[in-house]
Amino acid sequence: MKVKICCRWQVFGLKCTERVCYNKFVCKNTRFVRLRTAAVLERDEIMYDAIIIGAGVIGCAVAQQLAKYSGKIAVIDRMEDVADGASKANSGIVHAGFDAHPGTEKARLNVKGSKMYGKLAKELGVPYGQPGALVLGFSEEDRPTIEKLLAQAVANDVEGCRIIEREEILKMEPNTNPEVVCALYAPTSGLVSPYEMTCALADSAAENGAEFILDNPVLEVKPTMDGNWLVITERDEYKTRAVVNCAGMGSGVIHNMISTRKVKMIARRGEYYLLDHMAEIPFTMTMFQCPTKMGKGVLVSPTTHGNTLLGPTADDIDNGYDVATTRKALDTVLEKVKLTWKNVNLRPVITTFSGIRAHEENGDFIIGEVEGAPAGAFEAVGVESPGLSAAPAIGQELGDQVAAFLKAELKTDWVKPTPVPKSFRNMTDEERQAAYEKDPEYGVLVCRCEQVTEAEIRAAIRRPVGARSIDAVKRRTRAGMGRCQGGFCSPRVLEILCEELGVSPLEITKCGGASKLLVGTLTQIAKEARPDEN
């Protein structure tokens, strides 16, 4: 069997250490013949039972479920942290389930998943709430659509939905545009912090033995002669009995590598505004707009942390990883939001962002064993909205399916998730004092906007799947998510990362890869600029 080794092996001979060989910049453009060596052979003998590609909320939910069974599993992702794709940039809504067409996987898994959220979020210690939602109709023309949504809600077994009229809407949400006519009220619509959810799922999986191999893009997946699978990444390659494709935007490419039945992914970008939680919350519920022939509309929603989210747009783009924001889309958000919130106030805007939805051409989730591929390949493809809502259900079903294929037994020594501790910001004075008495670093505030302490930042780095970058710390602790957007705390977070990881400040990145924060010491840069001076 041919095994890929760095092409430069022959060029550099023995000088080429394994570390250099697997450096992605060296290996990226390799087109040379691959040789097998003793060293690689030895490492190759490691056989995984399952490799999950993609460390988003779906991959981590599958890993968390699969880690309840015996077997050696790993999660591989191209980014340096979990939740670093669509899972970090979405509306954070746990949809009640009235939106998906009855009979689809989307509808079934959404409703099943959303019903699992309350318990799961509590177990994981993840912010979750169920404020409810309204779908607003602004003319009598919208009423049939609202009625159709209600019928779908009934068909999908969504509890408590009803149609309400203008007066009741304005009583519930006084900031609603008074031109509203009617609305679908869905009391079970929820909110979750999607990245905190993903991080907590990853931690639980890791605590039960799952490996997380990050910052390592998968290049190729192929069946082996002996009925297993080979996952080739930029730095390494892994042999496994089962492979689970949860690669979000990349899931189509991987599917098409291994299956004879092709899928077509469409990258649909959504852009958002985020408002500070110091500002008065305009709406306590998630406010959707009734879909019309003019489009799906945008939402205004509180987040689990009391911020307000405006958006998203829906623009199909060519590059599925391009999360830039554009003036045009941001203006669109603003214009559309005015329909719901007439006197929209942008003064408290603290950031804008965009996320990509992995839309599959046929519009439904593709979950389960990969059709048209050899045995042992599983997938969750086309998981766009309501993917976050469905994640617990997808994780459970797909995890159990893979375990059944592996004939794996439930572990007797499975460790229950350790709930993420309550954040300092949400503690009472008594709880703060108690936390301080256990760890005096609770007495040091690093992020003043979100009131994040040094103890919490160190804990985020020490978690099973710990933070390695400024953004990773931010997702786990909220340091840098406030009004100053890290202006004050990022230098200190950088220092703490250096202390914890034992690296130089020049190594610390914003979000992995080449996203280094600092380019050199003062002396280095001055010398570069004036090489002839001492």
Partner 1 sequence: MKTENMINVDILIVGAGPAGLAAAISAKENGIDNMIVLEREDNAGGILRQCIHNGFGLHRFKEELTGPEYAQRDIDKAKEMGIDVRTGVTVLNVTEDKVVTAISREWGLQVFKAKAVVLAMGCRERPRGALAIPGTRCAGIYSAGTAQKFVNLEGFMPGRKCVILGSGDIGLIMARRMTLQGAKVLACVELMPYSSGQNRNIVQCLQDYNIPLYLSHTVVDIQGKERVTGVTVAKVDENRKPIPGSEIQFDCDTLLLSVGLLPENELTIGAGVEMSNVTSGAIVDDCLQTSIPGIFACGNVLHVHDLVDHVSNESFKAGKAAADFVKGIVHTGREVPVKDGAGVRGCVPQTIKLEKGAEHAPVSVMFRSDRVYQNHFIVVKADGKAIFAQKKMICTPGEMADISLKAEALAACEDAAEIVVSIEAEKPAM
Alpha-carbon dihedral sign for residues 334, 337, 339, 345:
negative
Residue 77: C-alpha distances to residues 217, 250, 257, 410 (Å): 6, 10, 17, 26
Candidates 349, 364, 374, 405; binder of partner 1 (CB under 8 A) is 349
The span from the CA of 474 to the CA of 491, in Å, is 13
Binding region for partner 1 (CB under 8 A) out of 252-260, 301-309, 319-327, 360-368: 319-327
Candidates 33, 225, 410, 514; binder of partner 1 (CB under 8 A) is 514
Binding region for partner 1 (CB under 8 A) out of 55-63, 140-148, 152-160, 519-527: 519-527
Q: At what angle do helices 470-477 and 194-207 cross, to 10 degrees?
A: 100
The span from the CA of 93 to the CA of 90, in Å, is 8
The secondary structure of residue 209, as a DSSP letter, is T
Q: In angstroms, give the least distance from the CB of 512 to partner 1.
A: 8
Does position 94 interact with partner 1 (CB under 8 A)? The reply is no
Candidates 483, 500, 501, 507; binder of partner 1 (CB under 8 A) is 483
Does position 528 interact with partner 1 (CB under 8 A)? The reply is yes
Does position 405 interact with partner 1 (CB under 8 A)? The reply is no
If you search the block for the tokens 């202390």, which residue do you land on?
A: 499
Does position 47 interact with partner 1 (CB under 8 A)? The reply is no
Does position 317 interact with partner 1 (CB under 8 A)? The reply is no
Q: What residues does 128 pair with on adjacent strands?
A: 192
Candidates 445, 464, 501, 507; binder of partner 1 (CB under 8 A) is 445
CB of 266 within 8 A of CB of 316? yes
Q: In angstroms, give the least distance from the CB of 125 to partner 1.
A: 22
- Residues from 257 through 296 that contact partner 1 (CB under 8 A): 273-274, 278
Residue 165: C-alpha distances to residues 111, 168, 443 (Å): 25, 6, 50
Candidates 220, 234, 364, 441; binder of partner 1 (CB under 8 A) is 441
The span from the CA of 469 to the CA of 473, in Å, is 6
Does position 410 interact with partner 1 (CB under 8 A)? The reply is no
Q: At what angle do helices 470-477 and 490-501 cross, to 10 degrees?
A: 100
Identify the CA nearest to 403 among candidates 422, 386, 385, 378. Answer: 378
Candidates 451, 456, 459, 477; binder of partner 1 (CB under 8 A) is 451
**Which is closer to partner 1, CB of 344 or CB of 511?**
511
Residue 166: C-alpha distances to residues 142, 180, 506 (Å): 13, 6, 57
Candidates 34, 484, 500, 507; binder of partner 1 (CB under 8 A) is 484
Structure tokens at 187: 């009391």
The question of whether 359 is a catalytic residue gets the answer no
Residues in the chain: 534
The span from the CA of 121 to the CA of 123, in Å, is 5
If you search the block for the tokens 């060519």, which residue do you land on?
A: 318
Binding region for partner 1 (CB under 8 A) out of 126-134, 183-191, 285-293, 345-353: 345-353
Q: In angstroms, give the least distance from the CB of 355 to partner 1.
A: 11
Q: At what angle do helices 490-501 and 454-462 cross, to 10 degrees?
A: 50
Among 95, 255, 277, 359, which one carries the catalytic annotation?
A: 95
Structure tokens at 509: 């990145």
- Residues from 413 through 432 that contact partner 1 (CB under 8 A): 429-430, 432
The span from the CA of 341 to the CA of 439, in Å, is 44
The span from the CA of 38 to the CA of 407, in Å, is 32
Does position 327 interact with partner 1 (CB under 8 A)? The reply is yes
Q: For partner 1, what does the binding mask look like between residues 350 and 369, x meaning CB under 8 A?
A: xxxx----------------
Q: How many residues bind partner 1 (CB under 8 A)?
A: 61
Does position 226 interact with partner 1 (CB under 8 A)? The reply is no
**Which is closer to partner 1, CB of 168 or CB of 431?**
431
Q: In angstroms, give the least distance from the CB of 144 to partner 1.
A: 36
Q: In angstroms, give the least distance from the CB of 48 to partner 1.
A: 29
Does position 443 interact with partner 1 (CB under 8 A)? The reply is yes
Does position 444 interact with partner 1 (CB under 8 A)? The reply is yes
CB of 49 within 8 A of CB of 406? yes
The span from the CA of 60 to the CA of 396, in Å, is 11
Q: H or E stretch including 429? A: helix 429-438
CB of 190 within 8 A of CB of 56? no
**Which is closer to partner 1, CB of 111 or CB of 298?**
298
Q: In angstroms, give the least distance from the CB of 531 to partner 1.
A: 10
The secondary structure of residue 7, as a DSSP letter, is T
**Which is closer to partner 1, CB of 318 or CB of 430?**
430
Q: In angstroms, give the least distance from the CB of 282 to partner 1.
A: 18
The residues carrying an active-site annotation are 95
Question: Which parts of this chain interact with partner 1 (CB under 8 A)?
Answer: 273-274, 278, 323-327, 330, 346, 349-353, 429-430, 432-433, 436-437, 440-445, 448-449, 451, 483-488, 490-491, 505-506, 509-522, 524-530
